[in-house]
Structure 1
Amino acid sequence: MSETDRSRSRSRRPFRKAVGLVVLLGVIGYFAVQRDSNNGASYCTATATGAGSAGAGTVQTYEMTHEQAANAATIAAVGISKGLPDRAVTIALATAMQESALRNLDHGDRDSLGLFQQRPSQGWGTPEQIMDPVYSAGIFYDRLAEIKGYTRLPLTVAAQKVQLSGFPQAYAKHEPDAAVLTAAFGENGVPASLACSGPAPSAGDPEKVRAELTRAFGPAARDALGAGRAGAPAGRSAPGGAVPEPEVGLRLKEGGGPAEARRGRAMAHWAVARSKELGIARVSYDGSSWVAGRDGGAWRGEGGGGRKGGAGDPHDAAPGEVRIFVAPATAR
Structure 2
Amino acid sequence: MGRMALLAVVALAASLISVGVSWAIFPNDPVAVADDTDFDAAKFYETHARANAARGVVVASAPGTSLVPRPVAGLNQAQTNNAFIVIEVARQMQLPERAMVVAIATALQETYLRNLANPKVPASLKLPHEGTGTNYDSLGIFQQRASIWGTPEQLMDPAFASAKFYNKLVKVDGWQKMSVTGAAQAVQRSAFASAYAKHATTAQKIVDELNR
TM-score after normalising by structure 2: 0.59
Alignment of 1:25-40 (within 5 A): none
| CA shift digits 1:288-311 (9 cap, x unpaired) | xxxxxxxxxxxxxxxxxxxxxxxx
Residue in structure 2 matched with residue 72 of structure 1 by the alignment: 83
Higher relative contact order (CA 8 A, sep 6+): 2
Q: Which has the higher helix share?
A: 2
Residue in structure 2 matched with residue 117 of structure 1 by the alignment: 143
Q: 2:198 aligns with which of 170, 173, 180?
A: 173
Unaligned regions of 5+ residues in structure 1, if any?
Answer: 1-42, 47-61, 187-264, 266-332
Alignment of 1:104-253 (within 5 A): 104-107=115-118, 108=133, 109-122=135-148, 124-186=149-211
Contact 1:44–1:64 at 8 Å: present in 2 too?
no
2:111, 2:139 → 1: CA distance?
Answer: 9
Unaligned regions of 5+ residues in structure 2, if any?
Answer: 1-68, 119-132
Alignment of 1:260-271 (within 5 A): 265=212
Shift of 1:44: 4.6
Q: 1:100 aligns with which of 79, 98, 111?
A: 111
Contact 1:89–1:182 at 8 Å: present in 2 too?
yes
Shift of 1:160: 0.5
TM-score after normalising by structure 1: 0.38
| CA shift digits 1:5-36 (9 cap, x unpaired) | xxxxxxxxxxxxxxxxxxxxxxxxxxxxxxxx
Q: Which has the higher strand share?
A: 1
Identity of aligned residues (%): 43
Alignment of 1:78-93 (within 5 A): 78-93=89-104
Aligned residue for 1:147, secondary structure, equals coil
Structure number, greater radius of gyration: 1
Aligned residue for 1:128, secondary structure, equals helix
1:86, 1:171 → 2: CA distance?
Answer: 17
1:121, 1:64 → 2: CA distance?
Answer: 30
Contact 1:44–1:63 at 8 Å: present in 2 too?
no
Aligned residue for 1:64, secondary structure, equals coil
Q: Which runs of 4+ in 1 moved over 6 A?
A: none
1:73, 1:90 → 2: CA distance?
Answer: 12
Contact 2:71–2:77 at 8 Å: present in 1 too?
no
Aligned residue for 2:91, secondary structure, equals helix
- What is the root-mean-square deviation of aligned Cα atoms in Å? 1.3
